[in-house]
Amino acid sequence: MLRWIRQQLGFDPPHQSETRTIYVANRFPQHGHYVPQRFADNRIISSKYTIWNFVPKNLFEQFRRIANFYFLIIFLVQLMIDTPTSPVTSGLPLFFVITVTAIKQGYEDWLRHKADNEVNGAPVFVVRSGSLVQTRSKNIRVGDIVRVAKDETFPVDLVLLSSDREDGTCHITTASLDGETNLKTHYSVAETAVCQSVSQLEALQAVVECQQPEADLYRFVGRITVTQHGEEIVRPLGPENLLLRGARLKNTKEIFGVAVYTGMESKMALNYKCKSQKRSAVEKSMNTFLIIYLGILLFEAILSTILKYAWQAEDKWDEPFYNQKTEQERNSSPILKFISDFLAFLVLYNFIIPISLYVTVEMQKFLGSFFIGWDLDLYHEESDQKAQVNTSDLNEELGQVEYVFTDKTGTLTENEMQFRECSINGTKYREVNGKLIPEGMTDDSPDGSTPHLIGDELLFVKAVSLCHTVQISYDQPDCLVGGGDPFSHANGFSSTHMEYYASSPDEKALVEAAKRIGVAFTCCNGDTMEIKTFGKSERYKLLHVLEFDANRRRMSVILQTPSGGTVLFTKGAESAVLPFATGGEIEKTRLHVDEFALKGLRTLVVACRHFSPEEYDDVDRRLNAARTALQQREERLQEAFSYIEKDLQLLGATGVEDKLQDKVQETIEALRLAGIKVWVLTGDKHETAVSVSLSCGHFHRTMNILELLQQRSDNECAEQLRILARRIKEDHVIQHGLVVDGASLSLALREHEKLFMEVCKNCSAVLCCRMAPLQKAKVVRLLKTSPEKPITLAIGDGANDVSMIQEAHVGIGIMGKEGRQAVRNSDYAIARFKFLAKLLLVHGHFYYIRIATLVQYFFYKNVCFITPQFLYQFFCLFSQQTLYDSVYLTLYNICFTSLPILIYSLFEQLVHPHVLQNKPGLYRDISKNSLLSFRTFLYWTLLGFCHAFVFFFGSYILMGEDTTLMGNGQMFGNWTFGTLVFTVMVITVTLKLALETHFWTWMNHFVTWGSIAFYFIFSLFYGGIIWPFLHTQDMYFVFVQLLSSGSAWFAIIIIVITCLFPDVVKKVFYRHLQPTSTQKSQPRSRSLVSCQQSVSNFCRREI
């Protein structure tokens, strides 16, 4: 029990060793004192709260807000000492704010719990006690044998034991992990592959030893020991044996695997970052402003307390005849009296800190977030998906983005490849109607009329049709991509019932193209590959597959031809194949590859090598020795591959187009014009990533592309960074682009962050390739924590993007074809990358200007509210007498002035949405939190003080010197004076907001004039009745008397005009002499559409 408690507190982590030992089917050794290792359960937790910690954790987070904590202190002070106002005036608004916020955040977390429960409660089948038992995903334990059927996702990280195939292989897609929708092949060891029934698995005696959980998706080191007939057989395990949680089983009826990593220890979960509370730049500015206003409050309270005691230094004011002190008051401590008076003044002026600001901001964010979901421009009709908001706290942050970090596959591209061109023996060809047509010829030319290929052309197409790891499915005749059969041609065969699955989208596109041309890959059964060349069947024996890896950047197959010869076919990146070619049209092919790349095509070079029987025997021996090595297996395989893949005969090259999503290039260009830098972070190969960056406009042809690739040491990396920094300074090029790979990035971030950041900031576009998920998050954090503190946005579609989505200030998930991890963990979700432009340039712009004005206006109207109260103390001997009635104190922010600013913050538009999209440069006007700068804040604060002085002294001058204002000669009292000041204030602050409003709707008119009318009606009703539950009737008939005075009406009009006229003059002056880009666009925007059309366009609901 003590050990368990220590583990829960984090003092005694469960994993003490570097490896874990897993007994398959949890068949633990019976002899000795075996103590099983403790492993995590299989629950996935993405939620933030539990039912036990919600109240304390949520209260802690809310009271981190300065205003909430401040009002809690004020409320406690009001409870403890005798203050001028009731504790209800502070306690009720505070309770309302805390409750509304807690309900909102609790609801959002409940949605996360609901999603988690769906995952954790999913039904799964495990082998227990000799039978197949159905249970829930969360009940899977490490060591359980799990059965997964076709098209199901893996509920844990599994080591593959067997499949329905004789060779023990299975095929999976990892769309939710790395965005790739293509098929990948995984293997089981021969000793377990034969265990295809539950009874055989129950009898299996095996132990898996592997490393402890780590986040790297592509690394797994272990071994399995199988006991057969008393003999222990040890086999190595690698990434090809591990099935990751979140991947999906395809083209395989069922598999059995043993659970090795469960729950939050699975590789997918380890690549999630802990959810942290994201706070927008506006909220941080609000906290800064609140601290300043807290300083103003303390200054006013201290000054009032000091002046009170200075005034009471004279006996006649200390104890006047009409207010004699009690004996207890005379004997009380001066220090305690000073503190008590200070706290009383603090309570009297506390309304300068606007707690209702947070309520209004929460409501504005919550209600405003619906506009994103209602916007039909963000609705994707093909997939029937609308934009969704998972966190409304960051709406205004969409208008402050400076860096966008985007995934490539599935985010910028559709991940759909199409064969375009090829180069064969130095001649370029293109595909036209299922035929290869040489450059310069047309389909109807004599040379292009025959479908048959000869010589080099035929060998090239055969190489493309055989050099791959593509699998074939025959049982899905209606599931062909696009709903049709692109392979049925007059070339002698039909493929209606056949579908290809590949580990690479390029491979699938090339095999499909070869089939259209006439060389069809028709069968792969164990070690046999069959193709049909224009209807004639040919069988090849598959001897070896030299798998693709990131270092070699090529893959090969060794085949025995129908004639008995042995041939090696190789395909890979240009830089990985051409250096090893000794024959063929090398230079011509190199030029063609460059031409393909300039068109944005993904290029592969194809070559071959023929072996004599003696050479093949040597190759076979080397490969078998390397593959069975238990020590340094990877290094020995690399040596063997290098020995085999040399002296190549170059056959040609291919050009495949990765289809970009619609309007990606226009979107990236719009973001660039808006001053936003775009970084592409992808796990793809260098060449692929660069070609897509060029085709989508991320890199321009005129850019100077800098490279930081394949750095092996810290010193080498630092030297290369210095060279790049010098080149940027010396090259007189307007724009630079940087390409960096994952390995070099790790070195750069280790000790050379500052130098790396200097290079990056001078580049217009940055491309990071071969990135692990946590590396993506590290790059985002690097920018986020740099001295400039830029606002970052990350967008992706796969589970490998979750870490960077959670790390960035704003995270956006793309609703991809498979997998919802990115969407579940994002702040916003959209169906296509192109929607990002409107989300930022329109919605972000509107949200920011609305909330910026809301924040400034709230501080302004509260300064107007409390400053007359402070000035009034100079005229009442600092007796802490209130200027306003307590009902007016409570309702000022809740009723009289709340709705106009709320409606403004929901509907205001400085310019029309079409103009914002057509002129991305307008986004720069609001960048770097410009509308909440200290200068703007100071302007609104000083304006509030000026208006407050005009309210107070304007009313005082009118009523001072015993002026008779009533028709019967009576004079006004102090409550009438306070009510006059309050009336002028309500009218002025409401009309001030009306001056700030550019976009008038019927709702703006209703709440603006309705708020003023409501104040008058309420005051007449409140002062016209004697309320039995009130202790005093100070306001009885006061408002009626005030309105019956013509002089009071004259004063109200004069004071309001005096306050607002200078503001009108200033606006006209600045608009004509120093207009901003936004103001220049306003007249044009008004002529585009009418006000009514704009409202319907922006606020329309989904049909």
CA nearest 470: which of 512, 409, 518? 512
Q: Check residue 447 and give its pLDDT.
A: 46
In tens, the pLDDT along 613-628 reads 899 999 888 888 887 6
The mean pLDDT of 717-735, rounded to a whole number, is 81
Chain-centroid distance of CA 142 in Å reads 32
How confident is residue 476, by pLDDT bands cut at 50, 70 and 90?
very low
Cβ atoms of 691 and 601 closer than 8 Å: yes
In tens, the pLDDT along 977-1026 reads 888 889 999 999 999 999 999 889 999 999 999 999 998 888 888 776 66
How confident is residue 689, by pLDDT bands cut at 50, 70 and 90?
confident
Tokens (6 digits) for 231: 């003999």
**Is pTM, for the whole model, over 0.85?**
no
Coil vs helix vs strand at 616: helix
Higher pLDDT, 359 or 970: 359
Q: Check residue 460 and give its pLDDT.
A: 92
Q: Is the pLDDT of residue 89 over 50?
A: yes
Highest averaged pLDDT of the listed ranges 629-643, 754-768, 787-801, 936-950? 936-950
Q: Is the pLDDT of residue 303 over 60?
A: yes
In tens, the pLDDT along 697-715 reads 888 877 888 888 877 777 8
Q: Is the pLDDT of residue 177 over 90?
A: no
Residue with tokens 């939710």: 176
Backbone angles phi and psi of 356, in degrees to 5: -65, -15
In tens, the pLDDT along 208-251 reads 988 888 877 777 888 889 988 888 888 888 888 999 988 889 87
Coil vs helix vs strand at 337: helix
Q: Check residue 323 and give its pLDDT.
A: 62
Cβ atoms of 993 and 1008 closer than 8 Å: yes
Least confident of 422-436, 575-589, 718-732, 977-991: 718-732
In tens, the pLDDT along 1026-1040 reads 655 555 555 666 777
Q: What percent of the chain has pLDDT over 90?
A: 17
CA nearest 553: which of 566, 535, 570, 568? 570
Higher pLDDT, 326 or 455: 455
Residues annotated as catalytic (active site), given as ranges? 407
The mean pLDDT of 577-598, rounded to a whole number, is 87
In tens, the pLDDT along 23-34 reads 888 887 766 666
Residues 6+ positions from 453 with CB-CB distance below 8 Å? 436, 461, 517, 518, 519
Least confident of 80-94, 145-159, 230-244: 80-94
In tens, the pLDDT along 332-349 reads 667 777 888 888 888 888
CA nearest 986: which of 937, 958, 943, 1019? 1019
How confident is residue 550, by pLDDT bands cut at 50, 70 and 90?
low
Q: Is the pLDDT of residue 258 over 90?
A: yes
Q: Is the pLDDT of residue 4 over 60?
A: no
CA nearest 191: which of 210, 170, 207? 207
Tokens (6 digits) for 514: 């070869």
Nearest 5 degrees, angle CA 604-CA 606-CA 610? 160
Q: In what order do the strands lie in the sheet with 222-228?
A: 19-23, 206-211, 222-228, 231-237
Q: What amino acid is encoded at 391 in this protein?
A: T
The Cα 453–Cα 435 span in angstroms is 9
Q: Check residue 902 and give its pLDDT.
A: 92
In tens, the pLDDT along 934-987 reads 889 999 999 999 999 999 998 888 766 545 555 555 556 677 888 888 999 999
- Left if phi > 0, otherwise alpha if psi is -120 to 50, otherwise beta: which for 429? beta
The Cα 957–Cα 952 span in angstroms is 9
